[in-house]
């Protein structure tokens, strides 16, 4: 009875954490598109635009490392509220600043804070899943993780569209203030309604314990790094700039296209348990490391096909639309499996530590991809970025072969979402 009451209390808090995470995700996606298009419109090159996000990704690595330690010592509520507060500060830096302050070093500083905020709130929400799902129920865990991750990416896509739309309607700084109001509302609501603690707090936790000593977590983190580098090396800077400069799309058209892709990507992630249900019903097992490896090897075919088609002068609009859909579907499956595996490999008391370490690798992949997205596009064009993507996916697939080929155990078939 006590355990049931604890889970019910955690469920209420988890709903609040998730809602706050959604608000932060919406603002984060919109602000990134606003920064990207605003500065590209001012005449910045693709490489210069990429440098604006350098600190965003770099501090994401540090945040996931130190954030896991902070959450272990103080609880997930502290990291959640800190993340929302820092996001408000980051948006305010851009929304209230005099126009002559909007130069590269200042914007990089604001993006650093935004990256810290995003990863603190993400770690809090992802870790909270482990606390509300019944123990020893891998199928339920997979379903809840997929729903959270999918909905997050759908809202990130909405943020892309919102950012492009607001830039055209109200301008850069007013748009930032609108986003600030959204995050501030989430912080006020969550702080007023949340009760009790969220997860465990261990004041005796030492920073040196934050590095995972679990083989499965380390391998999964390495695969995650290269998987996300393979996406961001062509998606973050190269693709939006290509759509704007080569295909001549407007800001809102490019933002809408990226938004639809990310929303669809999120929908596939959320539906992953349903699509894996038949296999689970037949075998009694949830996805394993071999599942991740097979998906990664399959994924490599799509950026290669896009690059070859562009080199053959096939209609670039058709190639990118069709290719992105195919790439997004398989990438979403692979990412959903990763997000399930990291929680499957850990336990309640180590969840913040292991999730923080895992997402530190995730941020590392985004950092590598972001830098190369601007640099490689400037030197080799979109096709060069796509071939880098192929190489990174193949590395992720090879690492995934070393993950356990069997799950922790059997369980009920995956329930429909």
Residue-wise pLDDT tens digits, 267-287: 787 777 666 665 655 555 678
Q: Which of 28-32, 74-78, 97-101, 314-318 is the least confident region?
A: 74-78
Lowest mean pLDDT among 34-38, 70-74, 120-124: 70-74
Distance CA 369, CA 213 (A): 26
Tell me if 219 sits within 8 A of 341, measured CB to CB: no
Among 97-101, 131-135, 240-244, 246-250, the minimum mean pLDDT is found in 131-135
Dihedrals phi, psi of 106, to nearest 5 degrees: -65, -45
Closest CA to 119 of 71, 31, 76, 60: 60
Tell me how far apart the alpha carbons of residues 33 and 99 are, in angstroms, rounded to a whole number: 18
Q: Is the pLDDT of residue 9 over 60?
A: no
Tokens of 369: 């991809």
The answer, yes or no, to whether residue 203 has pLDDT greater than 60, is no
Of 62-76, 128-142, 217-231, 249-263, the range with the lowest mean pLDDT is: 128-142
Structure tokens given for 340: 């399930």
Token pair in block for residue 397: 């697939």
In whole angstroms, give the CA distance from residue 299 to residue 294.
9
Residue 127 has pLDDT above 50, yes or no: yes
- DSSP letter at 134 equals P
Specify the pLDDT at position 410.
36
Under the banding of pLDDT at 50, 70 and 90, the label for residue 72 is low
The Cα 85–Cα 79 span in angstroms is 10
Query: Rounded CA gap, 372 and 238, in Å?
Result: 9
**C-alpha 264: how far from its chain's center?**
14
What does the pLDDT average to over 17-36?
90
pLDDT at 345: 82
| Of residues 199 and 103, more confidently modeled | 103
Q: pLDDT band at 413, cuts 50/70/90? A: very low
**Three-class SS state of 212:** coil
Percent of residues, the chain, with pLDDT higher than 70: 78
- How far is the CA of 104 from the CAs of 9, 177, 409, in angstroms? 45, 20, 51
Query: In whole angstroms, what is the distance from residue 70 CA to residue 28 CA?
Result: 22
Q: How far is CA 414 from the centre of its chain?
A: 24
Report H helices in 236-288: 238-245, 251-270, 272-283
Confidence of residue 140 (pLDDT cuts 50, 70, 90): low
Phi-psi region of 134 (alpha: psi -120 to 50; beta: other; left: phi over 0): beta
| Most confidently modeled range among 151-165, 273-287, 308-322 | 308-322
- DSSP character for 401? T
Angle formed at CA 116 by CA 114 and CA 122, multiple of 5 degrees: 100
Query: What pLDDT is recorded for position 213?
Result: 63
| Of residues 277, 280, 231, the one with CA closest to residue 258 | 231
Distance CA 360, CA 342 (A): 13
Give the pLDDT band of residue 389 (cuts 50, 70, 90): very high
C-alpha closest to that of 296 among 262, 258, 330: 330
Q: How many CB atoms lie within 10 A of CB 222?
A: 18
Distance CA 351, CA 188 (A): 26
Percent of the chain scoring above 90 in pLDDT: 36
Alpha carbon distance, N-terminus to C-terminus of the chain: 27
Q: Does the pLDDT at position 17 exceed 60?
A: yes
In angstroms, the CA 381 to CA 402 distance is 34
Domains delineated in the chain: 2-194+214-400 (1.20.1250.20)
Residue labelled with tokens 């109001």: 181
| Residue 372: closest CA among 104, 55, 50 | 50
DSSP annotation of 199: S
Q: Which of 160-169, 208-217, 389-398 has the highest mean pLDDT?
A: 389-398
Question: What integer pLDDT is reported at residue 323 of this predicted model?
Answer: 94
| Pair 336, 149: CB distance under 8 Å | yes
Question: What six digits make up the tokens of 258?
Answer: 């990226």
- Buried b / exposed e over 381-415, threshold 16 CB at 10 Å, is bbbbbbbbbbbbbbbbbebbbbbbeebeeebebbe
Please give the Cα distance from 335 to 329 (Å, whole number): 10
């Amino acid at each position: 009875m006590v355990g049931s009451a604890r889970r019910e209390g955690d469920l209420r808090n988890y709903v609040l954490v998730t809602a706050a995470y959604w608000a932060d995700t919406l603002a984060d996606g919109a602000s990134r598109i606003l920064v990207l298009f605003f500065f590209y419109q001012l005449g910045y090159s693709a490489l210069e635009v990429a440098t604006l996000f350098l600190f965003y990704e770099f501090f994401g690595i540090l945040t996931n490392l130190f954030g896991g330690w902070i959450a272990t010592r103080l609880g997930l509520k502290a990291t959640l509220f800190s993340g929302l507060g820092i996001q408000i500060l980051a948006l305010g830096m851009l929304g209230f600043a005099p126009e002559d302050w909007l130069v590269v070093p200042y914007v990089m500083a604001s993006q650093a804070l935004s990256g810290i905020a995003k990863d603190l709130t993400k770690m809090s929400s992802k870790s909270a899943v482990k606390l509300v799902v019944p123990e020893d129920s891998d199928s339920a865990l997979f379903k809840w993780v997929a729903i959270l991750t999918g909905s997050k990416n759908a809202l990130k896509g909405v943020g892309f569209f919102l950012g492009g739309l607001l830039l055209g309607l109200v301008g850069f700084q007013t748009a930032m203030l609108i986003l600030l109001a959204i995050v501030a509302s989430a912080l006020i609501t969550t702080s007023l309604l949340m009760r009790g603690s969220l997860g465990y707090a261990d004041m005796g936790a030492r920073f040196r314990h934050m590095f995972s000593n679990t083989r499965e977590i380390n391998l999964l983190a390495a695969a995650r790094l290269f998987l996300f580098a393979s996406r961001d090396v062509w998606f973050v800077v190269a693709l939006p700039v290509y759509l704007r400069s080569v295909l001549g799309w407007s800001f809102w058209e490019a933002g809408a296209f990226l938004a639809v892709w990310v929303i669809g990507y999120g929908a596939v992630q959320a539906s992953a348990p349903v699509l894996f249900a038949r296999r689970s019903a037949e075998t009694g097992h949830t996805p394993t490391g071999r599942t991740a490896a097979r998906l990664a090897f399959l994924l490599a075919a799509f950026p290669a096909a896009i690059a070859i088609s562009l080199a053959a002068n096939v209609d670039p609009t058709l190639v990118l639309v069709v290719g992105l859909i195919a790439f997004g579907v398989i990438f979403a499956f692979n990412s959903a499996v990763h997000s399930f595996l990291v929680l499957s490999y850990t336990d309640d008391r180590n969840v913040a530590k292991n999730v923080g370490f895992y997402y530190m690798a995730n941020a590392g992949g985004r950092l590598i991809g972001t830098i190369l997205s601007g640099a490689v596009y400037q030197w080799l064009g979109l096709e060069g970025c796509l071939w880098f993507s192929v190489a990174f996916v193949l590395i992720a697939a090879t690492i995934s072969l070393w993950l356990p080929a069997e799950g922790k155990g059997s369980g009920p078939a995956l329930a429909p979402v």
